[in-house]
Structure 1
Amino acid sequence: MNDRLYHTLRLLAAPFRYSCSDAGCPSPGQPAIFVANHCGPIGPIQSILSLPRRVYPWIVVDMLDSQKIVPYLYKDFVTTSLHLKGKPGWFLAKVIARMALPFLNSLGCIPVDRYDVRFSGAFLRSLELLERGEALLIFPEDPLLPIKPQTGMRPFMSGFLWLCVLYKRKTGSRLPVIPTAVIPAERKIYLGEPMYYREAQFPKEDTRKMAQEVEKKISQLLAESPDC
């Protein structure tokens, strides 16, 4: 999706957007990674519509595959969020897929295959965008783990933070990671202060620890909300 179409979409959807604090948000032209809680489909939709930056979302590769999107939507959304099963559920999944697939492909989404241990395609595309001063949007909750009742989030995976390592090695600059809390009850998005990867002797352990720190910060932002 070109920038004009992207901003037109945001303008048309303005009545439905959440308010968003922009304290600590990197200015346009400065690379960043926004890391948010998922909240089902609400997190991705409202983050795209409401964040003060144009963002490029990471998305599961099945959602950009014409052969896989229907069963993925049926299993991950229609049966779980809409509680619709059988033939009506499959029919709805096909309808949603027909509308969603061309839209997602034009939005600039970055397909991520969690079974590709190196995320090579996603990393290459992401680094190209970051070097151009663009911002990414990532939802790192692990779909295979249970939701924590205190936060409504699943534990975070840490693989995306290798972008910080690779970006620093390639450019010599640190990459800001912005904790992003989507709160449907308030119709608000809260941004935490930028966090930075601290490279030490063991990058794998360091990225895991930082993922926990980002998750903790988002949990704190959620806990500060009176409606959560």
Structure 2
Amino acid sequence: MSVQKKSSHPLFKSLKRVVRLFFRRRTLIGAENVRRDLPAVFVCNHLGSYAPIMMELFFPYPFRPWVTYHIVTKGKCADYLEAHFAQTELKLRRPFSRWAAVIIAPLCIHIVRATGAIPVYGGSLRITRTLEESLDAIKKGENLVIFPENEEKPFSPVIDDFDVGFIHLGKLSYQKTGNRLPFYPVFINKQKRSISIGCPIIYSPARSFHVERQRIKAYLQESISKMASGR
């Protein structure tokens, strides 16, 4: 199986080229760790909107990101942007935070959809739709990028604890394709303007899923924390 190139709308590609002009190119560390012949899941720290933007602009491998369904849903996007962007990152207060969110929301929905994003329906039975769409992407040879941090549960000075639903993709991929899915830790360093990719951990069907889920989670969290500390 070969990894598929990402297909984007020409206008979106042009927009990315323009936006890149406002950022210095990021240093890529650990490219030698990446296999190019199999689709993979890249698991990355979040940093609010910063890490997703840097991944979209400078990550050299094509991918489809997981995003909360709020961000691509009319009627929910503005509320989400106000709470998680306008107030937290732009430091705006009402009514300015609301005005900003309402103005940004339509463009945000359009841009995020253009990335090929897969909506994540966390805490809902609709999460099966997320897993099904993700598995279809993997079958087509597409990479995924996931930002699994739960901001309510700190793990280390640099990352929060991970929600582990995405690890089901390892089990599903093996069941449906016979391939053992690799999960790569990725650390975005805002200060050093770098993107670091660690060695992958490969899903193993030989262990119980509960044990394997904890093994993969622990490895990814510890690897990202070590990359952050320079170890």
Q: Using structure 2 for the length normalisation, give the TM-score.
A: 0.88
Deviations along 1:28-79, one digit per CA (max 9) or x if unpaired, are x520111000011111010111111111000001001111011111111111
The structural deviation recorded for 1:187 is 0.6
Asked if 1:221 is matched to 2:223, the reply is: no
The structure with the largest strand share of the pair is 2
Q: What percentage of residue pairs aligned between the two structures are identical?
A: 27
The answer for the alignment partner of 1:204 in structure 2 is: 210
Partners in 1 of 2:51 and 2:207 — Cα distance?
A: 34
Partners in 1 of 2:191 and 2:70 — Cα distance?
A: 30
Judging changes above 3 Å, is the alpha-carbon distance between structure 1 residues 148 and 215 closer, same or farther for their aligned structure 2 residues?
A: closer
What SS does the aligned partner of 1:143 have? strand
The answer for the alignment partner of 2:103 in structure 1 is: 95
Unaligned runs of 5+ in 2: 1-5
What SS does the aligned partner of 1:186 have? coil
What SS does the aligned partner of 1:86 have? coil
Partners in 1 of 2:213 and 2:34 — Cα distance?
A: 22
What SS does the aligned partner of 1:144 have? strand
Q: How does 1:68-87 map to 2 (within 5 A)?
A: 68-87=76-95
Deviations along 1:190-215, one digit per CA (max 9) or x if unpaired, are 00012112234431342133112101
Partners in 1 of 2:157 and 2:109 — Cα distance?
A: 34
The answer for the alignment partner of 1:23 in structure 2 is: 32
Q: Structure 1 counterpart of 2:157, which letter? A: Q
Mean CA deviation greater in 112-121 or 159-168: 112-121
Deviations along 1:115-154, one digit per CA (max 9) or x if unpaired, are 1257211111111111111100000101332x45622x11
What SS does the aligned partner of 1:23 have? helix
Asked if 1:111 is matched to 2:116, the reply is: no
Q: Structure 2 counterpart of 1:90, which letter? A: R
> Alignment partner for residue 171 of structure 1, among 147, 164, 177?
177
Q: How does 1:119-138 map to 2 (within 5 A)?
A: 119-138=127-146
Judging changes above 3 Å, is the alpha-carbon distance between structure 1 residues 221 and 160 closer, same or farther for their aligned structure 2 residues?
A: same
Poorly superposed stretches of 4+, deviation over 6 Å: none
Partners in 2 of 1:12 and 1:81 — Cα distance?
A: 22
The answer for the alignment partner of 2:166 in structure 1 is: 160
Judging changes above 3 Å, is the alpha-carbon distance between structure 1 residues 19 and 12 closer, same or farther for their aligned structure 2 residues?
A: farther
Partners in 2 of 1:179 and 1:198 — Cα distance?
A: 17
Partners in 1 of 2:206 and 2:38 — Cα distance?
A: 25
The structural deviation recorded for 1:12 is 3.6
Is the 1:58–1:112 contact (alpha carbons within 8 Å) kept by the matching residues of 2?
A: yes
Partners in 2 of 1:116 and 1:211 — Cα distance?
A: 21
Unaligned runs of 5+ in 1: none
What SS does the aligned partner of 1:35 have? strand
Q: Using structure 1 for the length normalisation, give the TM-score.
A: 0.89
RMSD: 2.0
Judging changes above 3 Å, is the alpha-carbon distance between structure 1 residues 170 and 56 closer, same or farther for their aligned structure 2 residues?
A: same
The answer for the alignment partner of 1:65 in structure 2 is: 73
The answer for the alignment partner of 2:55 in structure 1 is: 47
Partners in 2 of 1:173 and 1:92 — Cα distance?
A: 45
Q: Structure 2 counterpart of 1:58, which letter? A: W
